[in-house]
């Protein structure tokens, strides 16, 4: 890429970070909050009794001691595969207390995918529940079931003073990979703290706030639900899985818990909209994961005290920009603009020839700054293509998002689509190449092509076009289509299985 630029764009969007030179992590600040208000309610799940900050911390320390007892040391990787519960957050904090790296997994993932991730990340231990422990016992040397009593351990194995440093890895999140297997994105504590502090400053939560959590713990956006409230002295209310996609039950739980803020994908907000949901009081709605249609944004803005749209790729630590819905003219856009970058992040709109794009000219959005991930697990080639030297600021790296955008004359950054084969379906990031590679590995398939078809706003579905090894009659094709659906479901998460086969 060239360092030359067009004067009509001017300087790229950039703001300074919170934590340049900071030597700590989110965990340290949560510990400070605990010391100030140990008896305040920290987290509850469904109708269960809430844990206080002190009780949550004690549970996390017990998990950290258990990890140290089986040989986990700073820098080791610890996958977590739990249902939605208070232990999900306790496990996260406990892993960091042990100086280790958090790797969340969804129990609903196919076993083959989970086993691949366990091998790829190099884990020596898995935190899970007893009903899942035996299934994956052969994949890792040690399995700790958190629904069983933790065995007493020698606390000297884990120094009380152990805390992560800013440049230590905080977590690894596995996303869909274009080569046919999921890829792990590694993020440091420095990057995570910069984002968390920015959002905490934006929301201004206090000890009377309740943050409703509906997103899957297997995705990085769940860290917003856990860390921002704990930094602010608020309470986390984890919604049980069977209520997440049921608008009536979800609405009742939001009201019963006295919720004041929730983060969700546009699909979830649309489900609530269709049920004529009304917030129980002053309520802040966060929307992210995919483009937010202007009509839905208008409903959020009119229904809630505050609405914020969030944008960002996993490789740039969850989200890197925010847009207050009250500060944008929604009558003039189809989807909400991306907003300005958060602290410590710069945006560049780059043309095909490597120059900064003029206003109203499409280009690839590139990101630099403290938010950038360290890189990918065992993917040096992909790292080299995605994380490149920043030609506009020497000595920095820049992440090529693959998102096609343009900056309007008003300054708003408009999302136009993708320049590659990545899509978003119901907030989930999907590399079409991974789905194609999975279907093409079936012995009856010669070739497959996956297309994301839109059937309306927020209704995008995957369609598989398959070329069988041999011509087959209609009846045989119906059998094969069923086999392929089952084959894909055994290897891919449900949101990556095509809805139809042609």
pLDDT tens per residue across span 163-208: 788 999 999 999 987 667 899 999 999 999 999 999 999 999 999 9
φ/ψ of residue 253, rounded to 5: -70, -35
The CA distance from 473 to 37, in Å, is 69
- Residue 445, in any domain of the structure: yes
Structural domain count of the chain:
2
Written as six digits, the tokens of 241 are 């899985």
Of 60-69, 81-90, 481-490, which gets the smallest average pLDDT?
A: 481-490
Structure tokens at 144: 């700790």
**pLDDT at 60 (0 to 100):** 95
Q: Which of 338, 311, 312, 345 is nearest to 18 (CA)?
A: 345
Name the pLDDT band for 21 (thresholds 50, 70, 90): very low
CB distance 124 to 140 below 8 Å: yes
Q: Is residue 218 part of a domain?
A: yes
Pairwise CA distance, residues 80 & 68, whole Å: 15
Give the lowest-confidence range in 64-78, 171-185, 198-212, 445-459.
Answer: 445-459
Three-state DSSP at 334 gives coil
> In this structure, is residue 161 part of a structural domain?
yes
pLDDT at residue 449 in the model = 86
Q: Please say which residue of 264, 292, 327 terminates a domain.
A: 264
Last residue of a domain, one of 234, 264, 294: 264
Tell me what pLDDT residue 67 has.
94
Supply the CATH number for residue 56's domain.
3.40.50.12780
| Residue of 104, 40, 30, 103 whose CA lies nearest to 60 | 30
**Would residue 292 count as lying in a domain?**
no
- Spatial distance between the Cα atoms of 397 and 191, rounded to a whole number of angstroms: 14
d(CA 434, CA 417): 19
Integer Cα distance of 37 and 149 in angstroms: 27
pLDDT at 4 over 50: no
Domain boundary among 221, 238, 264: 264
Q: What's the whole-number average pLDDT of the chain? A: 88
The answer to the question of residue 1 being in a domain is no
Pick from 35, 105, 99: nearest CA to 64:
99
Contact predicate 159/180, CB 8 Å: no
Domain that holds residue 432: 423-501
Give the confidence band of 11 by pLDDT, cuts at 50, 70, 90.
low
Please state, in angstroms and rounded to a whole number, the distance separating the CA atoms of residues 473 and 465.
Answer: 16
Quote the percentage of the chain above a pLDDT of 70. 91
Query: pLDDT value at position 418?
Result: 83
Can you tell me the distance from the alpha carbon of 347 to that of 13, in angstroms, rounded to the nearest whole number?
A: 5
Does 295 reside within a domain?
Answer: no
- Of 7-16, 26-35, 57-66, where does mean pLDDT reach its minimum? 7-16
Give the model's pLDDT for residue 163.
76
Looking at the predicted structure, is the pLDDT value of residue 260 above 60?
A: yes
C-alpha Rg value of the chain to the nearest Å: 23
Give residue 140's pLDDT band: very low, low, confident or very high (50, 70, 90): confident
Does any domain span residue 18? no
Write phi, then psi, for 299 (nearest 5 degrees).
-65, -45
pLDDT at residue number 277: 95
**Quick check: 24 pLDDT over 90?**
no
**pTM (2 decimals)?**
0.87
CATH of the domain at 489: 3.30.300.30
User: In the structure, what pLDDT confidence band is assigned to residue 5 with cuts at 50, 70 and 90?
Assistant: very low
Would you state the pLDDT for residue 13? 60
Task: Indicate whether 468 pLDDT > 60.
Answer: yes
Average pLDDT of span 438-456: 85
Q: Is the pLDDT of residue 3 over 50?
A: no
Q: Is residue 342 part of a domain?
A: no
Of 281, 273, 277, nearest to 257 by C-alpha is 281
Please measure the distance between the N-terminal and C-terminal CA atoms of the chain and give it in whole angstroms.
41
């Amino acid at each position: 890429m060239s360092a030359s630029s067009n004067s009509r764009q001017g300087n790229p969007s950039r703001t300074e970070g919170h934590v340049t030179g900071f030597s700590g992590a989110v965990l340290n600040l949560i510990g400070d909050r605990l010391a100030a208000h140990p008896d305040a309610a920290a987290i509850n799940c469904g109708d269960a009794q809430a844990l206080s900050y002190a009780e949550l911390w004690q549970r996390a320390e017990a998990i950290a001691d258990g990890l140290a007892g089986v040989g986990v040391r700073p820098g080791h990787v610890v996958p977590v595969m739990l249902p939605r519960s208070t232990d999900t957050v306790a496990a996260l904090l406990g892993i960091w207390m042990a100086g280790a790296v958090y790797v969340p997994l969804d129990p609903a993932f196919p076993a083959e995918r989970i086993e691949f991730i366990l091998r790829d990340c190099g884990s020596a231990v898995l935190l899970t529940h007893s009903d899942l422990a035996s299934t994956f016992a052969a994949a890792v040397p040690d399995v700790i079931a958190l629904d069983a009593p933790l065995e007493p351990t020698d606390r000297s194995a884990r120094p009380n003073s152990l805390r992560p440093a800013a440049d230590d890895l905080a977590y690894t999140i596995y996303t869909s990979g274009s080569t046919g297997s999921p890829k792990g994105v590694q993020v440091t504590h420095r990057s995570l703290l910069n984002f968390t502090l920015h959002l905490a400053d934006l929301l201004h939560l206090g000890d009377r706030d309740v943050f409703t959590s509906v997103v899957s713990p297997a995705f990085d956006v769940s860290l917003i639900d856990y860390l921002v409230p704990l930094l602010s002295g608020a309470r986390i209310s984890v919604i049980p899985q069977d209520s997440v996609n049921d608008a009536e039950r979800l609405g009742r739980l939001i009201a019963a818990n006295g919720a004041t803020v929730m983060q969700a994908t546009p699909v979830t907000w649309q489900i609530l909209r269709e049920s004529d949901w009304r917030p129980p009081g002053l309520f802040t709605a966060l929307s992210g994961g995919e483009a937010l249609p202007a009509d839905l944004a208008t409903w959020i803005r009119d229904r809630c005290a505050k609405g914020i749209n969030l944008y960002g790729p996993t490789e740039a630590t969850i989200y890197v920009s925010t847009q207050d819905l009250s500060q944008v003219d929604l009558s003039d856009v189809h989807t909400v603009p991306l907003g300005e970058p958060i602290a410590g992040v710069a945006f560049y709109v780059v043309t095909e020839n490597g120059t900064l794009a003029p206003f109203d000219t499409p280009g690839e959005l590139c990101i630099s700054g403290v938010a950038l991930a360290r890189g990918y697990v065992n993917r040096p080639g992909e790292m080299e293509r995605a994380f490149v030297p920043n030609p506009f600021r020497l000595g920095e790296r820049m992440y090529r998002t693959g998102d096609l955008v343009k900056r309007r004359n008003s300054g708003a950054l408009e999302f136009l689509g993708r320049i590659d084969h990545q899509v978003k379906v119901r907030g989930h990031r999907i590399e079409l190449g991974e789905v194609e590679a999975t279907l093409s590995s079936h012995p009856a398939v010669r070739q497959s092509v996956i297309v994301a078809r839109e059937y309306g706003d927020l209704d995008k579905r995957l369609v598989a076009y398959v070329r069988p090894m041999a011509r087959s009659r209609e009846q045989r094709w119906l059998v094969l289509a069923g086999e392929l659906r089952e084959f894909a479901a055994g290897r891919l998460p449900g949101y990556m299985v095509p809805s139809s086969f042609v």
